[in-house]
Amino acid sequence: MKFATLRDGTPDGALVLVARNATTALPVPQVARTLIDALPRWDEVKPALSERYEALNAGRADGAIAFDAQLCMAPLPRAPQWLDASAFLNHGRLMEEAFKTPPIPYFDTVPVMYQGASDDFLGPHQDVPLRSEAEGIDFEGEFGVVVGPVAMGASAQEALQAVRLVVQLNDWSLRALGPHEMKTGFGFLQAKPSTAFAPIAVTPDELGDAWRDGRVQMRLQVQWNGARFGEPHGGEMNFSFGQLIAHAAHSRRLTAGCIIGSGTVSNVARAAGSACIAERRVIEKIDQGEIRTGFMHFGDEVRMQAYYEDGRPGPFGIVQQRVVRAA
């Protein structure tokens, strides 16, 4: 199934099913008015949602409407918890090489993860209001999963079974603020503005073979101001989503609706390009001896879209956002 949330003036929006071809949608208030309402009752509502989804795809759903991604909020406009990892180890290793920093202890065996803000996610086409260009405005293309309940101490295999939905996201960063916050030992706060999401969240079965080994086996195409920036492949993720979820649940249970992010999609091959500016900058430093690319300016746009390995557009839709000065 494919889900989106339409703006309706409420904090959690209105849940709709989205047809496989993404041309029509179906409100389902009689089953679940919002996605955050559906997730804790997943086993209860899934049969009715599946029935309506098949009717929508067959063109026989009463109440179907045209689907317009411009009207979408994030699939989950707010969530119980947002945890983002750094599961592509190439990204971290490039940072260490460029800046000659000591390796993170156990980086290869224990996932790195931070807890971000989950109360105000951005929709796929919302402007991104930020205070200053001097804070090092950067995008980060990622994949993520939305989980059902996860027991404390769950194994990676058990945790993977808790995945309800797969999402595509842009985890905005302010690079000039990050180093100080990391040195405090308390982690990111000001360096992580609101995260943005592609319009459509999908159940893993919708991805077919592109959901394999607990990873999204798709390329994430990133463009900055209309120019190609990169298209790294999600299959190169060193830790699976099952491992990431189990790590998050090591000492606490997770409630339905928690979102786990992959971290910046990053590939060893330079030809793949990058999914964030910081990575391009460190590659320039390593390969050319100096950083040549600056961070974003007000008015800049970033566009992200996932693609199957055969070149077909992925099911998540497009994130396309403009950075603006906060009022």
Model pLDDT for residues 206-252, shown as the tens digit of each residue: 999 999 999 999 999 999 999 999 999 999 999 999 999 999 999 99
Check residue 96 and give its pLDDT: 82
Q: Of all residues in the chain, what percent carry a pLDDT higher than 90?
A: 90
Model pTM score: 0.96
Check residue 91 and give its pLDDT: 87
181, exposed or middle or buried, with CB in 10 Å at 0-12, 13-18, 19+?
middle
b/e per residue 65-99 (b: at least 16 CB within 10 A): eebebebbbbbbbbbbbbbbbbbbbbbbbbbeebe
Model pLDDT for residues 126-163, shown as the tens digit of each residue: 999 999 999 999 999 999 999 999 999 999 999 999 99
Model pLDDT for residues 74-113, shown as the tens digit of each residue: 999 999 999 999 999 998 888 888 667 788 888 899 999 9
Helix, strand, or coil (residue 41): helix
Check residue 99 and give its pLDDT: 64
> Residue 113: which of 167, 213, 194, 187 has the closest Cα?
187
Average pLDDT in the 14-20 region? 98
Mean pLDDT across the chain, nearest whole number?
96
List the chain domain ranges.
Answer: 2-70, 76-325
Check residue 21 and give its pLDDT: 97
- The contacts of residue 127 (CB under 8 Å, 6+ apart) are 321, 322, 323, 324
Check residue 20 and give its pLDDT: 97
How many of the other CB atoms lie within 10 Å of CB of 268?
12
> Residue 178: which of 248, 84, 250, 265 has the closest Cα?
84
Check residue 303 and give its pLDDT: 98
Sheet holding 219-224, edge to edge: 128-130, 313-325, 301-307, 219-224, 227-230
Q: Is the pLDDT of residue 34 over 70?
A: yes
Give residue 176's identity as a one-letter amino acid code. A
Higher pLDDT, 181 or 15: 15
Q: Which two tokens stand for residue 148?
A: 């059902």
Check residue 98 and give its pLDDT: 66
DSSP annotation of 257: T
What pairing do the DSSP bridges indicate for beta strands 227-230 and 219-224? antiparallel
CATH superfamily of 76-325: Fumarylacetoacetase-like, C-terminal domain (3.90.850.10)
Check residue 95 and give its pLDDT: 80
Euclidean distance between CA atoms 195 and 3, whole angstroms: 18
Whether residue 233 contacts residue 158, with contact meaning beta carbons closer than 8 Å, is answered with no
Average pLDDT in the 118-124 region? 97
Q: Which two tokens stand for residue 116?
A: 């971000």
Check residue 183 and give its pLDDT: 83
Angle in degrees, 0-180, between the axes of helices 89-99 and 277-288, rounded to the nearest 10 = 50
How many of the other CB atoms lie within 10 Å of CB of 325?
12
Whether residue 203 contacts residue 174, with contact meaning beta carbons closer than 8 Å, is answered with no
